Structures are given as C-alpha cells and as structure tokens.
Amino acid sequence: MNMNELAFLVAEDHDFQRRTLVRILQNMGVKTVYEAADGRSALEIFRDPGRQVDIIISDLDMPEMDGMEFIRHVGEAGVQASLILSSALERTLIASVETMTRAYGINLLGAVDKPVTAKKLASLVGAYRPAGVRTKRAPMEQMPLAEIDEGIAAGQFEPFLQPKVGMDNAKVTGAEALVRWRHPERGLIPPAAFIPALEENDRIDELTWVVLDRTAQTVRKWQDSGRINGHTVSVNLSLKTLNDPKVADHITECVRRHGVAANRIVLEITETAAMTDVAHCLENLSRLRMKGFGLSIDDFGTGYSSMQQLARVPYTELKIDQSFVMGAASEARLRVMLESSMQLADKLGLTVVAEGVETHDDWKLLQQLGCHKAQGYFIARPMPAEEFLDWAEQWAPPR
C-alpha cells in the first residue's frame, strides 16, 4: 500500500499534538490528512461524501463528543474505515475500547500511546488492508418472512459444507453444514439475511429440520459410496430450538430414519442470548449426548456466559470463535486467548476446533499450540454438498 494513496482523519483536541501527528504523517508520505479537534467535527468530515477516509486516528478523551461516542457513530454508519486509537489513558481502558470497536465491526489497526512517534505509527499503518479484503460484521438487511416461507416450501434452502481438517496429519475429518438459500432471482443468499428474521419470529425450527434432514441424507450417501469413512458433519442448532423438550427425540428420529449413527453428527450450539429455559435445554442436551451426538460449544469466547455453560453442558467439542483466530500469528493478545482456551479444553477433555483460519501463518501457530482441528478459507470455503467428496479426495495438506 502506497502512503500517498491513503487519506487520514486525525481527531485530537490538543493543538500541538494534532499538528505533530499531521507532520509525522506528511513525513511518511501521506498527501491527504483531515483534522478535527473533537468527535463532532470529525464526524462531519467522516460523513462528507466528498471526502473518502481510509484511516482514522482518534484520541479518546476529547471535549463535546469524546472518542467513544465518535467510534460508535462510525460503527453505526457501517462504513469501511480503519481505526488507530491514540491515547494517554491506561492500558485496561484502551483494551475495553478496543473490544467495543471490534464489536461495531470497525477494522481496528491498534492503539498507540502518547507521545505518538513515526515508528509506532508506521507499524500500525503497515497492517492496513483496503476494504473488500476485510470482513465486516454489520447487520444485514433481512429478507421478508413471507418470502422466506415460500423459499422453504419450494425447497430452495440447502446446506453447503465447509471442510474441517485435523491439524496433526491434515486429514479431512468432516464438515460443517452452513445453510444457503438458492433464490431463483437473487442467487445465493447467506444465512445472515434470513436467520435473525426466523429466530425473532420463532420460526427457526423449520429451517433446522431442512438442514438436518439434508445433512443426514448426505452422510448416508457418503457411507454408501464407500469413498470416505468415519467423517462427521456439524449442524448448527439455535438455542431457541432447545426450549422444546421433544427436540432431542425429533433429532434422533430424523438421523435414524436415514440409517446414520448419532456419532456422525455434531450439534453446534451458539449462545446468542441467555438460555431462557435452562431446564428444557439441559434435558435436551443431556439426552442428545446420551444418544451419541457430539455437542460443540460454538463461537467460544463471545457468549454471555460461556464458562458457565461449559460447566453444566456435556460438551465434546469447543469451537474457538474466529475473532480470536484471524491474525493470531501477528497479535500477542489473541495468541494468549488461544492458549488459554486450548488449556481449558485440554483439561476438560474437549476437542478444539479453530474456525476462521485464513492464512498459513495462523495455521502454523494453531498447529504449534496443539489445536486439534481447523476450519476456514485457508482450507476451503463452504461448497455445495455434491462437491465435497471430490474436494476431500484432492485436498493436499499445507507444508
């Protein structure tokens, strides 16, 4: 990335410090630097459609509108800008703002303590990648419920499969089923456009049955083909589904109907909201485990009370959230989170799966740390179920 192609916005109330920062940037070869003395004027510049900002450098403690509020507005605008925090405040406070920033889906390059120097700034700016290369977690517009209904009735929803591979021998161990809507006019629609709508309207179960049924069918085909053996497929279960005490039996029947053993299926559970009906959920989970299903705690590290859940649910697998995996090779803090999750899983005798492995560096780090399985774009993107066997047979482990 060429420095003279990047536009910066510097939000800093202290005149001398702001001018110093601007000068440092100019010495680094930057041509476009906008300046603001508080969050409000920074926001005006940011929102001006005539000015495109690539990197924001923002102080936290500013009059009128402080850095936290400014960051919130930037996050809610859903615009692809990267952020560097500059602050003289204590480390733990900056760390919590960092977490907040990431939760808004903003690409945080890091924090620099004051006084800011060219050297400190250069290493953070060096991590900048243009928008489009990055992933964003902004909320997505939901498809209308009536249209989703029609799609389900017409059989337009199908699970794609994303491979999971062992890290010690790089053998394919199975896949995760990730639902896609093959819309006749709009093409492939991702789950983010319909799962929240279904969950809010208590209609997620209909989709769960479609995915589970098609997944069991696929596993049965694999068995019959004799081409791969002993592979498991993970299916995502919404916590809401588990409120109905009959669900464990439905799941068991569905899988049995296809002549598939329960231990070929892993159920991934994400804690997106607190367990509403703890007793029913635990009854279902215990029964599913008793029948032989694998149980995975999904998005580990992001939930409300992951630790509490771990203590009471008979999990077999821990899936580390991608936010701790992406870029772990170059970020010490993420590495610490990975290490301690791994130790925890080890003590509890759980299989550890890292999701969101995008680079060879992250793959190598996870391997070193003793992670059991990996899933991510570095290995393969989710693919139509029919393509999986061919893919698995040609997969060559990274060296």
User: What is the greatest pairwise CA distance in the chain?
Assistant: 73
CA angle 107-355-383, nearest 5°?
105
Q: Which residues 181-240 are close enough to bind Ca ion by CB under 5 A?
A: 236
- Interacting partner of 317 out of ligand C2E, Ca ion, none (Cβ under 5 to 8 A depending on kind): none
Interacting span for ligand C2E (CB under 6 A) from 5-13, 77-85, 216-224, 369-377: 369-377
Question: Distance (Å, rounded) from C-alpha 170 to C-alpha 371?
Answer: 12
Q: What would the two tokens of residue 324 be?
A: 């701790």
Which C-beta is closer to ligand C2E: that of 61 or that of 199? Answer: 199
Residue 376 binding target from ligand C2E, Ca ion, none, CB below 5 to 8 Å by type: ligand C2E
CB under 6 A: which stretch of 40-48, 64-72, 139-147, 187-195 binds ligand C2E? 187-195
Evaluate whether 320 touches 301 at the Cβ level (below 8 Å).
Answer: yes
Residue 298 makes contact with Ca ion by CB under 5 A: yes
Alpha-carbon torsion 116, 119, 129, 113, what sign? negative
Residue 24 dihedral angles phi and psi, to the nearest 5°: -60, -45
Binding ligand C2E (rule: CB under 6 A), the pick from 12, 59, 271, 299 is 299
Task: Work out how close the CB of 233 gets to ligand C2E at its nearest, in angstroms, rounded to a whole number.
Answer: 11
Work out which of 75, 151, 174, 382 binds ligand C2E, going by CB under 6 A. 382
Q: Is 299 in the site for Ca ion (CB under 5 A)?
A: yes
Angle value at C-alpha 305, between 300 and 310, nearest 5 degrees: 65
Q: Is 211 in the site for ligand C2E (CB under 6 A)?
A: yes
Catalytic residues: 355
Contacts of 321 (CB under 8 A, 6+ apart): 299, 300, 301, 302, 355, 356
Count of residues that bind ligand C2E according to CB under 6 A: 26
Distance CA 343, CA 177 (A): 27
Task: Return the residue nearest ligand C2E (CB atom).
Answer: 376
Q: Which residue in the set 151, 163, 303, 376 belongs to the binding site for ligand C2E (CB under 6 A)?
A: 376
Asked if 209 touches ligand C2E (CB under 6 A), the answer is no
- Residues 6 or more apart from 66 whose CB is under 8 A from it? 39, 60
Site for ligand C2E in 22-61 (CB under 6 A): none
Handedness of CA 212, 216, 217, 219 (dihedral sign): positive
How far, in Å, CA of 110 to CA of 121, rounded? 9
Applying CB under 6 A, among 13, 35, 61, 358 the residue interacting with ligand C2E is 358
Going from the C-alpha of 220 to that of each of 107, 228, 264, 295, 334, the distances in angstroms are 42, 11, 10, 20, 39
> Of these, 236, 252, 296, 323, which contacts ligand C2E (CB under 6 A)?
236
Reference 195, options 164, 233, 232, 241; nearest CA is 241
- Beta carbons within 10 angstroms of residue 155's beta carbon: 10
One symbol per residue from 97 to 136: x for binding ligand C2E (CB under 6 A), - otherwise; what is it?
A: --------------------------------------x-
Secondary structure (DSSP) of 178-207 = EEEEEETTTEEE-GGGTHHHHHHTT-HHHH
Tell me the closest approach of the beta carbon of residue 321 to Ca ion, in angstroms: 5
CA distance 63 to 60: 10
Residue 268 engages Ca ion in binding (rule: CB under 5 A): yes
- The 142-181 contact track toward ligand C2E, x by CB under 6 A, reads --------------------x---------------xx--
Can you tell me which of 86, 107, 223, 270 binds ligand C2E, judged by CB under 6 A?
Answer: 270
Return residues touching Ca ion (CB under 5 A): 236, 268, 298-299
Return residues touching ligand C2E (CB under 6 A): 135, 162, 178-179, 190-192, 195, 204, 207-208, 211, 236, 238, 268, 270, 298-299, 355-358, 375-377, 382
